[in-house]
C-alpha cells in the first residue's frame, strides 16, 4: 500500500496561558503560570454564579473575534480552537475541503458541569441542562458550524485523548483514506474532576513540580487544542506553510490498574520504541522530550524509567520540558496542547523550561535535564501521554524536510 506523509498545517488553542498559539508559547518561554486555585469553585458572574476557570483572561475577547458563544463549555472551547486551526491552515473559505475532512475529539468525561445551576435541578430539568455537554453533541455542533461532513469521532480516553486523536487522524492520512483531518482534544475543569483528583490524593497543595524529588501532585487546568493534519501532497498543492511532520505514533495499554500506572514503565517503553520505529528515527536523533510529566509520584517514575530504557546514558542530556508545571494538567486537552507546543518548538528552535523543578528524584535511573535549553536546534520531538485505565500514546513530530 502506498503510504503518504502526514504534515501539520494548522494550530488552534484555548489555554490557561493564552487563547492563541503565539501568546501561549510566548508565556511558556517566559515561565509564566497564571493559576487561580479554586477555593469553593464559584464566583459572581453577570448576576449569577460560575465555576472558577483557570483559562486566560482574554478568552472572552477571542470568542467574540471568532463569533463563538461565551459560556466556558467544552463546546465553545472546542469551536474556538477549531476555528483558529482552520484559519491558520488557510481553510476558512475552503468549504468543499472541509466537507470531506474528518473530525476527531478527545475528552475525559461524558459530560461537563459548566454551571452550578445543574446542582439545583433534577429529572427533565437536568436533562435539558446537560444538552450540548456530551462529546457527541460537541462533535455535532462543530461539524454543523463548520460544515464538516466526514467521520466525526470522540475519544473519551482521559489524558491520552489528544494524542490518540492525532494518531488516528495520522493513520487515515498515511494510508490514503483522507486528505485532511481536524484533530484535538478538550476538557473543562469541574467540581467533579477536582474532587476526583482530591480523593485520589493527586492534587498538589502548592504547585506542579514534574520529576522533582519533592513533587506532590498535579494542578488542574483546562482548555482545548486542535491541529489540522494533511496529506503532504495535498498541502503542497494548496501552497500552504507546513509547520511540522507527524513521523510516528503508538497507542498501547499497560493493563495494570485503573488509576495507578506500572512504575516500571514496561509498556510505556514499548510505546515509545514503536513510535520511534515507525518514525524511522533513532533515540539519539530526538532533540526534545515532551513528557506527560504530571508531578505525581507514580506517573513521573513510570516515565523516567521508560525514558532511561530508551535513551540510556543520553537521557541526562536531552531536554525534558514538563509544561504542565505552567499550564497545569489540562486533562484530555493536555496532549494536544503539548503537540501544539512541540510544533512551535520545531518552528522556532525554542523549548520551554520546566518551572518549579529543583532536584531530580533519587529513585530515577538518571537525572533528567529539565532546564537550560537555550541555543538548541530542535529537529525531532517525542511527546508522551498517559491516562487512567493504563492508556498510553506516544507520538513523534519532526521538522518538515
Rounded to an integer, what distance in angstroms lies between the CA atom of residue 288 and that of residue 253? 24
* DSSP symbol at 179: S
Rounded to an integer, what distance in angstroms lies between the CA atom of residue 328 and that of residue 401? 33
| Cα-Cα end-to-end distance for the chain | 23
Which regions of the chain are under pLDDT 70? 1, 35-51, 109-135
Cβ pair 246, 395 in contact under 8 A: yes
What is the model's pLDDT at position 41?
66
Beta strand ranges found along 66-123 (DSSP E): 102-106
Rounded to an integer, what distance in angstroms lies between the CA atom of residue 12 and that of residue 337? 9
| Sequence-ordered list of residues with C-beta below 8 angstroms from that of 389, at least 6 positions apart, any chain | 157, 158, 253, 258
What is the model's pLDDT at position 49?
63
What is the model's pLDDT at position 254?
86
Domain 6-398 fold is: Peroxisomal Thiolase; Chain A, domain 1 (3.40.47)
pTM above 0.85, yes or no: yes
Cβ pair 106, 157 in contact under 8 A: yes
Rounded to an integer, what distance in angstroms lies between the CA atom of residue 320 and that of residue 299? 15
Rounded to an integer, what distance in angstroms lies between the CA atom of residue 4 and that of residue 108? 31
Q: What is the pLDDT of residues 166-225, one digit of tens each?
A: 999 999 999 999 999 999 999 988 777 788 888 888 889 889 999 999 999 999 999 999
Rounded to an integer, what distance in angstroms lies between the CA atom of residue 299 and that of residue 354? 16
| Sequence-ordered list of residues with C-beta below 8 angstroms from that of 398, at least 6 positions apart, any chain | 244, 245, 247, 279, 281, 346, 379, 380, 381
Rounded to an integer, what distance in angstroms lies between the CA atom of residue 89 and that of residue 38? 36
Domain ranges of the chain: 6-398
Q: What is the pLDDT of residues 218-260, one digit of tens each?
A: 999 999 999 999 999 999 999 999 999 999 999 999 887 777 7
Burial of 123 per CB tally in 10 Å (0-12, 13-18, 19+) = exposed
What is the model's pLDDT at position 296?
94
Helix (H/G/I), strand (E/B), else coil: 231: strand
Nearest alpha-carbon partner for 383 in 299, 282, 272, 284: 272
What is the model's pLDDT at position 115?
39
Amino acid at each position: 500500500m502506498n503510504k503518504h506523509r502526514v504534515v501539520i498545517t494548522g494550530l488552534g488553542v484555548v489555554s490557561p496561558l493564552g487563547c492563541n498559539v503565539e501568546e501561549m508559547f510566548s508565556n511558556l518561554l517566559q515561565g509564566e503560570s497564571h493559576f487561580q486555585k479554586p477555593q469553593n469553585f464559584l464566583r459572581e458572574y453577570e448576576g449569577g454564579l460560575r465555576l472558577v476557570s483557570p483559562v486566560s483572561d482574554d478568552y472572552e475577547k477571542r470568542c467574540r473575534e471568532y463569533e463563538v458563544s461565551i459560556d466556558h463549555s467544552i463546546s465553545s472551547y472546542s469551536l474556538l480552537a477549531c476555528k483558529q486551526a482552520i484559519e491558520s491552515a488557510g481553510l476558512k473559505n475552503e468549504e468543499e475541503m472541509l466537507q470531506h475532512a474528518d473530525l476527531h475529539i478527545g475528552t475525559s468525561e461524558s459530560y461537563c458541569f459548566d454551571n452550578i445551576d445543574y446542582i439545583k435541578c433534577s429529572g427533565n430539568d437536568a436533562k435539558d441542562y446537560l444538552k450540548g455537554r456530551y462529546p457527541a453533541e460537541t462533535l455535532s455542533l462543530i461539524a454543523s458550524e463548520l460544515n464538516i461532513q466526514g467521520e466525526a469521532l470522540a475519544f473519551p480516553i482521559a489524558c491520552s485523548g489528544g494524542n490518540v486523536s492525532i494518531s488516528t487522524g495520522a493513520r487515515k492520512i498515511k494510508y490514503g483514506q483522507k486528505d485532511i483531518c481536524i484533530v484535538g482534544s478538550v476538557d473543562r475543569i469541574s467540581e467533579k474532576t477536582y474532587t476526583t483528583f482530591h480523593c485520589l490524593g493527586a492534587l498538589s497543595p502548592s504547585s506542579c513540580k514534574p520529576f522533582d524529588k519533592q513533587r506532590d501532585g498535579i494542578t488542574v487546568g483546562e482548555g482545548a487544542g486542535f491541529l489540522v493534519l494533511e496529506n503532504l501532497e495535498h498541502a503542497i498543492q494548496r501552497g500552504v506553510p507546513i509547520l511540522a511532520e507527524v513521523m510516528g505514533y503508538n497507542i498501547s495499554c499497560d493493563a495494570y490498574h485503573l488509576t495507578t500506572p506500572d512504575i516500571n514503565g514496561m509498556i510505556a517503553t514499548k510505546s515509545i520504541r514503536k513510535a520511534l520505529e515507525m518514525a524511522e528515527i533513532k533515540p539519539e536523533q530526538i532533540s526534545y522530550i515532551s513528557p506527560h510529566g504530571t508531578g505525581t509520584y507514580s506517573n513521573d517514575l513510570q516515565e523516567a524509567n521508560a525514558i532511561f530504557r530508551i535513551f540510556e546514558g543520553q537521557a541526562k542530556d536531552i531536554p525534558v520540558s514538563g509544561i504542565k508545571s505552567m499550564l497545569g494538567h489540562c486533562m484530555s486537552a493536555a496532549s494536544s496542547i503539548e503537540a501544539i507546543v512541540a510544533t512551535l518548538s520545531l518552528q522556532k528552535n525554542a523549548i520551554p523550561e520546566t518551572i518549579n523543578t529543583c532536584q531530580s528524584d533519587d529513585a530515577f535511573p538518571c537525572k533528567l535535564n529539565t532546564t537550560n535549553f537555550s541555543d538548541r536546534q530542535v529537529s525531532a520531538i517525542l511527546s508522551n501521554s498517559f491516562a487512567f485505565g493504563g492508556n498510553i500514546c506516544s507520538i513523534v513530530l519532526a521538522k518538515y524536510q
